[in-house]
């Protein structure tokens, strides 16, 4: 196992990925705005808890989880990683998932209702995803 990342053919492709204002985030934001929801972007709620959207009036914290980076059970990596960085990738995805759990617990502890949406869910139907977010704020 390498202790540091080894450059590969796919390195430059993955290096250019955005952390904010991603396409699924933008689709969700547009759908929520059309439904009349008003929100704040990337507001820090606590240590390690930075939701993609916050609807303060409804006490909603919304996280948009990328299928690859957060390990979507349906569209994430189905097999084991291979290549020189395989163990590093597995560790990275596991750290992301652990961070997601901690962020959710932090937000819940502060009185926020947390909604986590997969990238694939938003891409398939942004309006249904927006309705799911708004329904969580009512219940």
Query: What's the pLDDT tens digit per position in 14-51?
Result: 666 777 889 999 999 999 999 999 999 999 999 999 99
Q: Band of the pLDDT at 2, cuts 50, 70, 90?
A: low
- Per-residue pLDDT for 129 more than 70? yes
pLDDT of 46: 94
Q: Band of the pLDDT at 107, cuts 50, 70, 90?
A: very high
pLDDT of 51: 97
Most confident stretch, 11-25, 73-87, 88-102: 88-102
pLDDT of 71: 87
pTM of the model: 0.89
Average pLDDT, the chain: 90
Contacts of 124 (CB under 8 A, 6+ apart): none
Query: Which sequence spans correspond to the domains of the chain?
Result: 19-138
Per the CB < 8 A criterion, the answer to whether 115 and 133 are in contact is: yes
HSE, CB side, 13 Å, CA atoms: give it for residue 99. Answer: 17
Q: Class of 19-138 per CATH?
A: alpha beta
């Amino acid at each position: 196992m390498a202790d540091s990342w080894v450059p590969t053919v796919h390195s430059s492709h993955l290096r250019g990925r955005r952390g904010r204002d991603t396409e699924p985030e933008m689709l969700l934001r547009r759908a929520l705005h059309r439904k009349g929801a008003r929100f704040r972007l990337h507001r820090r709620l606590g240590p390690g808890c930075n939701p993609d959207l916050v609807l303060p009036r409804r006490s909603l914290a919304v996280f948009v989880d990328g299928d690859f980076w957060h390990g979507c059970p349906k569209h994430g990596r189905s097999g084991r990683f291979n290549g020189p960085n395989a163990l590093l990738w597995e560790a990275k995805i596991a750290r992301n998932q652990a961070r997601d759990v901690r962020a959710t617990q932090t937000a819940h502890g502060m009185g926020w209702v947390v909604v986590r949406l997969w990238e694939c869910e938003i891409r398939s139907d942004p309006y249904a995803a927006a309705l799911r977010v708004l329904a969580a704020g009512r219940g």
